[in-house]
A and B are shown apart, each in its own frame.
Chain A
Amino acid sequence: MTLDFSTLLPYTDAILEGLVTTVWLTVVTTVAGIALAIVVAYARDGSREGPSGIVSRLLGAYVEVIRNTPFIVQLFFLFFGLPALGVSISATVAALLAMILNLGAYTAEILRAGIDSTLKGQHEAARALGLSRLQSFRHVVLMPAFSRVYPSLISQCIIVMLGSAVVSQISVFDLTYAANFIQSRNFRGFEVYLVVTLIYLLLAVGLRLAFEFVGRRLFAFRQGGSS
């Protein structure tokens, strides 16, 4: 077998289109998924009784269902299953929704570990200053919790980015879909998947570097002392 990467040249546009889709799916998912996780973590952190207890348990069920089922099944359920209930959504919307729900559940659980490790004194200081539970969560608890679990959070976002390859199965034109598409035309599987593998690798490294850059800004307070 001789390698011939020039066979890919006619398909540069397809690869670019796939790359753009994968990147924007990842960026939107990361932002929306983390936002969802914050809401879920806050609601689950509350009282286990009364109306908020029911909400807390429902959200607990959501987190467990997502974490204990395959991503591809979740995706198929949204795309092929929902129309049976009369809710029809496009492949792209289904992909985005599945990815956000997935990242939201995992991140909520990661974040909960950070929230649970908040020292009692922080809560007491916030209460003594008159902050409400929400104010205390937002201004006192959240940022240090994030800083404690940040490495796990980065890994989770990379997993979701790589997992987004699965959305090609419902014909979303992402990077993997582009690869399959090209391979089915030019039959140069080795070249195509080698290039796409390298692109995913670069994306993962880039995503990690971006997260670390943001982390250094956000968590500057951790440098320079013992506590």
Chain B
Amino acid sequence: MALVSVKDLHKSFGELEVLKGIDLEIEAGEVVSIIGRSGSGKSTLLRCLNQLEQHDWGTIHLADQRLDGTAMSPGELSQNVGMVFQSFNLFPHKTVIENVMLAPLVVKQTPREEARRIAEAVLAKVGMSEKVDAYPAQLSGGQQQRVAIARALAMNPKVLLCDEVTSALDPELVGEVLRVLEDLAREGMTLILVTHEMKFARDVSDRVVFMHQGRIHESGDPQTLFTRPRTPELNQFIASVL
């Protein structure tokens, strides 16, 4: 079975139906980019995958376990799915290494020594070893986002969800974050990204999913999708963002 398996997923906010039946299978090691206009439901889909939003209908399976709010505790879930946010959301009162160590210490009850070793390893991976004792306010946006990636990786998740992780960054800082994600992709990390970086989606993804009005409108390998879109909606979308 696929690592992530979504079947007939529905989600409404009040009257507004945001997801109108999503089916999606993602294999371990796959890098999947979700693209689409704002309001197409792509962030909601991502947030359903780690239960920041509870879906109304349909099923999500993750590593053969069903998610529906109760089956998996938040602690277990966080060891399966990591998430990186658009606005970093680092904890301002904790240093870089404390940010990264917090969940292993508190949620996994990892001994402090080992938590520190794990934190140092993931911070090295994102190139932030020099700044372990800095506070978030002392870092650039790109550095903060790399720490946020390290913080998610410290729980050793099977999937990393990235919700427009470069959208809040100054253009010159986007590259350093994308490079980290590229490295992760190369190491075989399963990545699901909601992104506006079309070049990145094309170059790094194994698969691109185009969402439109709450449905998966078109999906496929990036080369085909970007060069020969089958639907007029995707064609229009590509024309508007490239």
Which residues does chain A contribute within 8 Å of B77, judged by CB atoms?
A: 130
Q: Answer whether A129 and B135 are a contact pair too, CB < 8 Å, given A124-B52, A124-B89, A221-B92.
A: no
B interface, how many residues as a size bin?
20 to 34
Q: How far is the CA of A139 from the CA of B98 in the complex (A)?
A: 11
Q: What string of 1s and 0s marks CB contacts (under 8 Å) between B50-77 and chain A? A: 1010000000000000000000011111
Which residues does chain B contribute within 8 Å of A84, judged by CB atoms?
A: none
Most B-side CB within 10 Å, residue of A122, A124, A224, A226: A124
Judged by a CB distance under 8 angstroms, whether B155 is at the interface is yes
Judged by a CB distance under 8 angstroms, whether A125 is at the interface is yes
Binds B, one of A3-11, A93-101, A140-148, A154-162: A140-148
Number of chain A residues whose Cβ lies closer than 8 Å to a Cβ of chain B: 26
User: What residue of chain B has the Cβ atom nearest to residue A130's Cβ?
Assistant: B78
Main secondary structure of the interface of A (DSSP, over half): helix
Q: Are A225 and B136 in contact (CB under 8 A)?
A: yes
Partner of A140, one of B76, B91, B135: B91
Judged by a CB distance under 8 angstroms, whether B138 is at the interface is yes
Q: Are B87 and A135 in contact (CB under 8 A)?
A: no
Which residues does chain B contribute within 8 Å of A135, judged by CB atoms?
A: 106-107
Which residues does chain B contribute within 8 Å of A55, judged by CB atoms?
A: none
Q: Which residues of A173-211 have CB atoms within 8 Å of chain B's CB atoms? A: none
Partner of B135, one of A124, A130, A132, A225: A225
Judged by a CB distance under 8 angstroms, whether B2 is at the interface is no
Judged by a CB distance under 8 angstroms, whether A57 is at the interface is no
Which residues does chain B contribute within 8 Å of A140, judged by CB atoms?
A: 91
Judged by a CB distance under 8 angstroms, whether A216 is at the interface is no
Show the binding face of A for B, using Cβ within 8 Å.
Answer: 119, 121-122, 124-125, 127-132, 135, 139-140, 143-144, 147, 219-227
Question: What are 11 A-B contacts defined by CB distance under 8 Å?
Answer: A124-B89, A125-B89, A128-B83, A129-B78, A129-B155, A130-B103, A131-B103, A139-B102, A221-B92, A221-B94, A227-B136
